[in-house]
Structure 1
Amino acid sequence: MMSTWVSAVVALVAFVNGMRNEDVRQPCAHIQTSSSVVPLGSPVTATCVISNNCLQVIGQDVPIEWRLGDRLIPGSPVASESGRVSQVVIPSFNHTGAFLTCCVQTSPVQIVGGVKIRAGYPPEPPQNLSCQTNLTTPNTLTCSWDPGQQNTHLLTQYTLHTEIWDSNENNTYTLPTGVHHYAIPRSGFVLFSEMGLYVKAVNELGEATSAPITMEPIGAAKFDPPKILTVEAVPKRYGCLRLSWSLSQHQAWMRDCRLNLEVRLKTADSSQWSGQPISMSRVKPTRPLDQCRLLHGTQYLAQIRVRYQQSPWSEWSRRQSGVTLESAPTGRLDSWMKLSGDHVHKQLLVHLFWKPSKLFRANSQNVSYTVSLQKPPGEKGKVCSTTGSYCTFQLPRKAKKVYLRAVNAAGKSSPTEVRVYRLKGGLTVISAVTAIPHDERALRVQWRNMDISSLTGYVVEWRPLLKADFSLTKFEIVDRNQSSLIITGSLEPYKPYGISVYPRFKDGLGLPQTVNAYSRQKAPSIVPKIQIKKTWQSNVELTWDEIPLEQRNGIVQSYKVFYWDEKGPIRVVNVDPRERRVLLKDLNTVSVYEAFVMVNTFGGSLNGSTIHFKIEPFDAVTVVMIVTATGVGLSLLTIFIVMTCFSNSRRLKGRLWPVVPDPANSSITSWTSESSQYTHPAWDSDEPNPVFLSHLSFLDLSMKLSKEEVDIWLNSAEDTSDLGESICGSPFIPGYSGSNSDSVPYATVIFSGQCSSPPPKDPHVYLRSESTQPLLESEESFSPKCYQNMATDGMPGEQCFFGLGHDCAVEEGADPVFIWDEFPFLKALATNDTQNN
């Protein structure tokens, strides 16, 4: 709707203000205003006059209305004009631009006239007009100004006006819209002639002019940075440097001009320039400059800058270095000594550190240091010589002091006396030592001390823990009233430093307090892997190694162990950083668990790798206990059995290994000896020994035994060595040839059981032995005994071996031959005995 209305207004204005053909068509209405451009917020009055030949109102009276943009505003008709003239008053015009239109109330409403009204502010006077001369190619004079803070909302035109007084030459330079600076070409100014300049601003509501300035273009020139040619020591003048310099090649033609100059200096090892620059006025580039009151034998860096009178300063020149003349070192050195004993050689191992005090001057670029036992300088008592600030040497235990000197090519300094102090144990003076970051390159060390009258001060020592070089040790001597110190220098972030605070007394040093600190921390580089140390029942113990110092990146605050199974929630256990172990209890023996450890420092945290583990129902400890108990039980049982066996060895031996008489070492009389009872113990003590014959051998001796010798067997039971002769004539032995035979092999009679056993169904078996070894004599007497046999079918209740004795009796009516038939061997003995008789 708005765009349609604006288009209509634009078309109407073009129709009203433009005449296509004045003879054919005249404007329908005419609007008169006080001004089409007015100050913003000022009142505006307008009058609309409708012509008589306007087709829209011919022959009728039509009301007139006003619109400002698309907003209807009230108007008032002029009474004397028969309703064809209307006037409107806008008390405050607050638009920077708007269309004011006049309309007649026909159907539809018709726009019969209109005008565009613009509003704004008159320009402000330009401020801060300044100009600067450029002496490089091309030479120009560039001026700039500030148009003011207020926006005029109207097109404002700026012009720069110059006037050269010596030549009475005036120039005006018109600037493009919105540009507030202009470069005057070299033809528009003279370097060494004064000129006036001002700026004028003009718009439809007025104009304004800046305050004029008067200047000499050379006085507004900014020179190029000058060049330092050389920096040299002044001969025979200690602490002086001579600077030779020149202008740049673009300003070299000004070498005869007198300029203002500033010099600034600093030592080569300093990070800041020393004090305020040294100013010199009206100097020529062809004249060198001398700078004195400098340190002797010290390297300096120098820079200069120039200007003409009050012109802007040039930029600083490039740095140039020079060294002053050397002189002997002056002042004393601050020192710090640490001792350790050598009991073998009865000497002390000394670590001595030193640094320049505030009053020390090396006065040389090449300085060395010597430590000696004697105060007068000499080579005899020298124990150390170095160009550094640290030395290690040995001293006798009785030494009380050493002397430290600085030496250069020009001489030696006065000796600094260093007393040999030993640690005093048993007295705690310092406590609660802390070190917190001050910034990324500094640490603030604080401690708490006790009020002790003999305390003279403190020594704060620090060194990097990742480097074993003692020369990197730094120290600071602190007053006794001080309880904190800011450590500065080349402290590296994420690197550990060991900081110790020693109390100083008049006669020694107290025990130190030491802490580790980082100027800046971050998360560790690695996390140690979890290891399963042992498991038992439903518990598991996890351990891990300590993180290497170079990979910690901070002080470890805690370990956190996260563990879970496939069913349960995640559980967390906090672990003290000194422990590095955790015991997980009440775990499920059928679940697989996962776990990892997280390491925390003040700078961040890092998670380790995840491990999997399962609790077995019988762990190693349980298995070991079971095996141990089983082994102990078996051992006790074995010991009991062995003891039992040894206590009944004869009975057990008789049961496991039956006794077989050795023919070479026994006789037939020993087969039934009472000694056999120990090898064949009876199960019942009432029963006789159940020993029975297993075999009986016959041996045919080479010579014929006499009848007297045969009678020994018949009449005595003490000797059985002639048994072979007495039985050699038995008709039961195959191949029997009588007593004249050379040899007869053994004959064996085998019984199938004991006397109490029933008679076997099979006949007795007689085996022939191939051995020809005769039986040896035996001193043991032979006395056959009768055994009581149990009654068996078809046999008498009692039987006797080796004939009848007084203990046996034959049943009435029994045939005695029956007994010999049952024992053919005995029958053979009896037959042989009969024949011999």
Structure 2
Amino acid sequence: MFKMFSGWSWMIQTLFVSLSIYSPEVSDGLVQSCGYIIPESPVLTIGSSFTALCILNETCHDLGNIRADQIIWKIKNSIVPKEQYRVINTTVSSVTFNDTSILTSPLICNVLADGHIEQNIYGIAVTLGLPPEQPENLSCIVYQVENHAFEMKCSWNPGNHTFLETNFVLRYKWPTEKFPDCKPDRVNNSCSIKTPEFFVDLEVWVEAENILGKAVSEHIVFDPVDIVKPLPPRNLLVHSELSTVLKLAWDNSIEQTEIMHLKFNIRFRTSDSIDWQEIPLEDTASHRTSFTVQDLMPYTEYVFQVRCMKIDGKGYWSDWSKEKSGITAEDKPIKGPPLWRKVDACNSSGNLTVHLMWKEMDRSEANGKILRYKVVVRAKPPLTLPPANYSVNNTNLTLNLSRGTYDVAVTAYNSIGGSPPSVLFISASNSKAPVKNMTAFPKDGKLWVEWTPPSDSVNDYVIEWCELSDTVACTTEWQQEHGTSKSTFLKGDIQALKRYLITVYPLYTSGQGSGRSSQAYLHQDKPVKGPTVQTKKVGKNEAVLTWKPLSVDEQNGFLKNYSIIYKTANGNETVLDVDPSKTEYTLSSLASDTLYVVRMAAYTVVGGEIGPPFTFTTQKFGQGEIEAIVVPVCLAFLLTTLLGVLFCFNKRDLIKKHIWPNVPDPSKSNIAQWSPQTPTKHNFNSKSQMYPEGSFTDVSVVEIEADDKKSFSEQDMKPFDLLKKEKSASEGHSSGIGGSSCMSSPRQSVSDSDDGECAQNTSSTVQYSTVVLNGYRDQIPSVQVFSRSESTQPLLDSEERPEDQQVLDSPAGGDSAAHRQQYFKQNCGQDETNTDESHLERAKQVNPPVSEEDLTELQNSGQSSQACASGPERNLEEAALADAVCPSIEGQTVVSLETMEINTATNEMLKSYLPQTVQQGGYMPQ
């Protein structure tokens, strides 16, 4: 801020002066500037006190009667408090500032003219700053810029900034001569003097000056030759002489010893190190151009640098020379290579597979370039095998050894000779004591391993480690530590976020101990992702969650725990912690038939990561609830079905009667096998022989239950008694039909309990048949042929009803009762044993039932049957059965079965009578 005042003070002062002088006269009582401020453009020390005076001239009295008590002081646009004002007289007013650090530029003097209008009188710019401080730490150095050219440069501390323009000057002189001042070029803290004179004292000092004051530094006196900083040695060379010696040579920049003598400082390091070693100064404290460095390591590359200064120690060290490297000569290796092995399990032949491994030796141990390795394997008793020698060019060897104990020695060879052998004891098992309390942990950016040594003396320790990964095989690395060690860090490429399996083996003189292992990270982080959870089983109030464990590469550290986070659509979240070793968990106390959203997070010591959400819905019914409902229902249904089947089986006769009654199959009736020519031997090959043209058959069967006889009236039973009495008479009119008309059916004829009757059952059957031969176009045949029906088919349901048997009691049949009785006697008297077996075959086709309309038509046709049956051809049997055969079409044979219409009761029974027509194959309904 104060520096700004120093730069703009004169400009602001000039501006306000111009405003005061050239301000035009205006109306309304405003006048030109009629005063001024003293001091004019002051430069003030920051923090000091300051007083300014505003003086009004006589023009102010003439133009407005302006007085000093009307003056107002301002700093920029801020009014100075009136407590700082002082009116000296009517024309002079002063203002005082006790601390100029609060004073800002410009300082303005104004007055209040008529009408309380503020009129500017004068303004000044105030500059604030500090006087210069005394320059300190003045020092000079003579630099060697070329082989014979020097330049002196002096520098100092200029002190605090003054905020004002300050001039610095470097002055120097001899005791008898003063030299021109040296002014700094760009900065105020240094100045250079060309070609200083040596071997004479020079007095040097610095002066600083600004508007507020002047300051002078302390005077220093010196000989420029005592402050010289020479150039570093040039052309450094390194020569190898012995395995532990290197010789250095260089050129000095100051060759004139008459000017000054030099001493040297030599430092060196190995090429693979950053730490320098220095040759003792007393060994190089003489003017020289070469030096021999001893006690170096064989076959090792070293880097050297050299610097110099005045031999008496006055002045400054030169910069270091450019680096130069050299390699010492080879020597025999000082020790054998670090040796280790891995033993596989015994194979099928019982031998051991041993993988020998050794590391390349450090350059400090190899003392040269290793050309080959010699491996000697010696068997221990009780084995008596000779030693085996192997020459190997690499750092590993696989051996197939018999089960036993061995000593393995590995010797490294370079161009000079061989190393001491590295010996390793190999056995089938690690029988010695292991280390104790083995741990691994990160520290100071390294992965450290600590252990407690066993009680026995240990020669060496082998620390073996490998990176655990799901994608990369575990490549074994190892290092060997001295037997006195208790901790070490892994000397390999150990990376962060990688898990390492570390094992420590103690090595004894007679064997090795078992390994102790631990896993560790150099640095851990939160997992890459969270587990993906799924449901293994979902019930009514529980769900079994399962997840795939995160791989080692995804964990980025040791898992501390899993967290299961689940909630319903509108519910609060529930968080459960799960052991990281588990892969499934059962959620309990869930609501049934509810949608749940579940996520899973994995946590390390650093943090956690949540996996993707998964939804599932609990079941509406629990395990066994559906079975508890379905099983009883099924059992009830099966029980109901079983009871229904048993009921139907028990009532099968009744059900059969109402649903599917027995219908006779006419195709199995013997009537289909009748032959007029050969009654006892039938031939079905010729249709003309089976049914000769003009033959008619009339068959009627009446069946009466024995128990139903009581239901008939005495008058109704008379026709049946007549039939019984005429039984023997009817046997003589069988007309040679052959066989019994009663057939072999279990049904019995109408009879009482006589032993001579053919009927033995409770139901009686009356069978009769008439074969009528009719001529073409109503021509009466000359011979009638009768054939007895031996069908075993039951009659229709209407034929078994007792009330239908009343047709036999019809009065219309009274005139032929004697003939009927004689007919039944003849048929029933035949020997049934002569009946051909083929005549008793039943037909497989059941005739369809006859409708009521057909029965009505049959009844009407029966009423007119007398007209159709006129002529002497009607016999007594046809009259008794009221059968009428009428021709309907030329060339056709019509068979008609009817019952005679006797009274009104008989008409009702005709509705259930089923007439049959004899055709090929059996009975067919008309």
Deviations 1:588-616 (A, max 9, x none): 44443333322222344333223333334
Q: Corresponding residue for 2:596?
A: 593
Deviations 1:566-598 (A, max 9, x none): 222222222222112222233344443333322
2:166 to 156, 171, 196: 156
| CA displacement at 1:385 relative to structure 2 | 3.0
1:403 to 404, 409, 416: 409
Greater RCO (Cα-Cα under 8 Å, separation 6 or more): 2
Decide whether aligned partners of structure 1 residues 210 and 16 sit closer, same or farther in structure 2, where only a CA change above 3 A counts.
farther
| CA displacement at 1:160 relative to structure 2 | 1.7
The residue identity in structure 1 corresponding to 2:389 is K
Aligned-partner Cα distance in 2 for 1:41–1:742: 163
Matched-pair contact (CA < 8 Å) for 1:62–1:105: no
Aligned-partner Cα distance in 2 for 1:297–1:392: 31
The residue identity in structure 2 corresponding to 1:161 is R
The residue identity in structure 2 corresponding to 1:361 is E
Aligned-partner SS, 1:170? coil
Determine if the alignment matches structure 1 residue 436 to structure 2 residue 436: no
Q: Corresponding residue for 1:385?
A: 392
Aligned-partner Cα distance in 1 for 2:681–2:493: 128
Q: Corresponding residue for 1:292?
A: 294
Matched-pair contact (CA < 8 Å) for 1:95–1:118: no
Aligned-partner Cα distance in 2 for 1:819–1:448: 138
Aligned-partner Cα distance in 1 for 2:163–2:376: 87
2:585 to 582, 585, 594: 582
1:50-69 superposed matches below 5 A: none
Deviations 1:702-721 (A, max 9, x none): xxxxxxxxxxxxxxxxxxxx
| CA displacement at 1:497 relative to structure 2 | 1.0
Aligned-partner Cα distance in 2 for 1:200–1:383: 85
2:145 to 135, 138, 141: 135
Q: Corresponding residue for 2:180?
A: 171
| CA displacement at 1:209 relative to structure 2 | 2.3
Matched-pair contact (CA < 8 Å) for 1:459–1:478: no
Determine if the alignment matches structure 1 residue 545 to structure 2 residue 548: yes
Aligned-partner Cα distance in 1 for 2:609–2:545: 18
Aligned-partner SS, 2:333? coil
Bigger shift: residues 492-501 or 736-745: 736-745
Q: Corresponding residue for 2:783?
A: none
Aligned-partner SS, 1:369? strand
Determine if the alignment matches structure 1 residue 733 to structure 2 residue 674: yes
Percent of aligned pairs with the same residue? 20
Q: Corresponding residue for 2:370?
A: 366
Aligned-partner Cα distance in 2 for 1:360–1:291: 17
Q: Corresponding residue for 1:184?
A: 192
Q: Corresponding residue for 2:481?
A: 476
Give the TM-score normalised by the residue count of structure 2: 0.57
The residue identity in structure 2 corresponding to 1:173 is C
Matched-pair contact (CA < 8 Å) for 2:460–2:506: yes
| CA displacement at 1:369 relative to structure 2 | 3.5
Q: Corresponding residue for 1:614?
A: 617
Aligned-partner Cα distance in 2 for 1:361–1:516: 32
Give the aligned length: 689
The residue identity in structure 1 corresponding to 2:135 is P
Aligned-partner Cα distance in 1 for 2:86–2:676: 187
Matched-pair contact (CA < 8 Å) for 1:694–1:751: no
Aligned-partner Cα distance in 2 for 1:799–1:132: 177
Aligned-partner Cα distance in 2 for 1:88–1:529: 84
Aligned-partner SS, 1:550? helix
The residue identity in structure 2 corresponding to 1:535 is V
Decide whether aligned partners of structure 1 residues 74 and 556 sit closer, same or farther in structure 2, where only a CA change above 3 A counts.
closer
Decide whether aligned partners of structure 1 residues 576 and 752 sit closer, same or farther in structure 2, where only a CA change above 3 A counts.
farther
| CA displacement at 1:412 relative to structure 2 | 0.8
Matched-pair contact (CA < 8 Å) for 1:821–1:827: no
Decide whether aligned partners of structure 1 residues 77 and 622 sit closer, same or farther in structure 2, where only a CA change above 3 A counts.
closer
Determine if the alignment matches structure 1 residue 416 to structure 2 residue 459: no
Q: Which runs of 5+ in 2 are unaligned?
A: 1-8, 24-31, 380-385, 657-661, 691-698, 709-742, 767-808, 810-816, 837-926
Determine if the alignment matches structure 1 residue 515 to structure 2 residue 521: no
| CA displacement at 1:499 relative to structure 2 | 1.1
Matched-pair contact (CA < 8 Å) for 1:369–1:385: yes
1:620-659 superposed matches below 5 A: none
Aligned-partner Cα distance in 1 for 2:761–2:102: 171
Give the TM-score normalised by the residue count of structure 1: 0.62
| CA displacement at 1:629 relative to structure 2 | 8.0
Bigger shift: residues 327-336 or 555-564: 327-336
1:98-137 superposed matches below 5 A: 120-121=130-131, 123-131=133-141, 133=143, 135=145
Matched-pair contact (CA < 8 Å) for 1:333–1:416: yes
Aligned-partner SS, 2:560? strand
Aligned-partner Cα distance in 2 for 1:93–1:538: 86
Decide whether aligned partners of structure 1 residues 315 and 797 sit closer, same or farther in structure 2, where only a CA change above 3 A counts.
farther
Aligned-partner Cα distance in 2 for 1:404–1:435: 31
Q: Corresponding residue for 1:200?
A: 207
2:449 to 435, 445, 459: 445
Aligned-partner Cα distance in 2 for 1:496–1:424: 26
Greater helix share, 1 or 2?
Answer: 2
Deviations 1:777-821 (A, max 9, x none): xxxxxxx999687xxxx955679999478999999x999986984
The residue identity in structure 2 corresponding to 1:129 is S
Matched-pair contact (CA < 8 Å) for 1:39–1:205: no
Determine if the alignment matches structure 1 residue 212 to structure 2 residue 220: yes
Aligned-partner Cα distance in 1 for 2:822–2:559: 109
Aligned-partner SS, 2:297? coil
Deviations 1:720-764 (A, max 9, x none): xxxxxxxxxx999314348899999999xx9999997999xxxxx
Aligned-partner Cα distance in 1 for 2:268–2:417: 27
Aligned-partner Cα distance in 2 for 1:731–1:497: 106
1:746-785 superposed matches below 5 A: none
2:501 to 498, 520, 524: 498
Deviations 1:627-651 (A, max 9, x none): 9989x999x99xx99xx99xxxxxx
Q: Which runs of 5+ in 1 are unaligned?
A: 1-5, 646-651, 657-679, 684-689, 699-729, 760-783
Matched-pair contact (CA < 8 Å) for 2:370–2:412: no
Decide whether aligned partners of structure 1 residues 314 and 359 sit closer, same or farther in structure 2, where only a CA change above 3 A counts.
closer
Determine if the alignment matches structure 1 residue 238 to structure 2 residue 243: yes
The residue identity in structure 2 corresponding to 1:171 is P
Aligned-partner Cα distance in 2 for 1:172–1:753: 174
Matched-pair contact (CA < 8 Å) for 1:462–1:475: no
Decide whether aligned partners of structure 1 residues 192 and 757 sit closer, same or farther in structure 2, where only a CA change above 3 A counts.
farther
Aligned-partner SS, 1:297? coil
Deviations 1:656-684 (A, max 9, x none): 9xxxxxxxxxxxxxxxxxxxxxxx9xx9x
| CA displacement at 1:326 relative to structure 2 | 0.8
| CA displacement at 1:546 relative to structure 2 | 2.8
The residue identity in structure 2 corresponding to 1:298 is T
Decide whether aligned partners of structure 1 residues 557 and 88 sit closer, same or farther in structure 2, where only a CA change above 3 A counts.
closer
Deviations 1:332-391 (A, max 9, x none): 55545554442544443334455699997211133543331359xxx9622573543x55
Bigger shift: residues 569-578 or 734-743: 734-743
The residue identity in structure 2 corresponding to 1:144 is S
Aligned-partner Cα distance in 2 for 1:799–1:320: 158
The residue identity in structure 1 corresponding to 2:180 is N
Q: Corresponding residue for 1:711?
A: none
Matched-pair contact (CA < 8 Å) for 1:263–1:277: yes
Aligned-partner SS, 1:161? strand
The residue identity in structure 2 corresponding to 1:211 is H
Decide whether aligned partners of structure 1 residues 557 and 478 sit closer, same or farther in structure 2, where only a CA change above 3 A counts.
farther
Q: Corresponding residue for 1:559?
A: 562
Aligned-partner Cα distance in 2 for 1:518–1:37: 70
Decide whether aligned partners of structure 1 residues 544 and 169 sit closer, same or farther in structure 2, where only a CA change above 3 A counts.
same
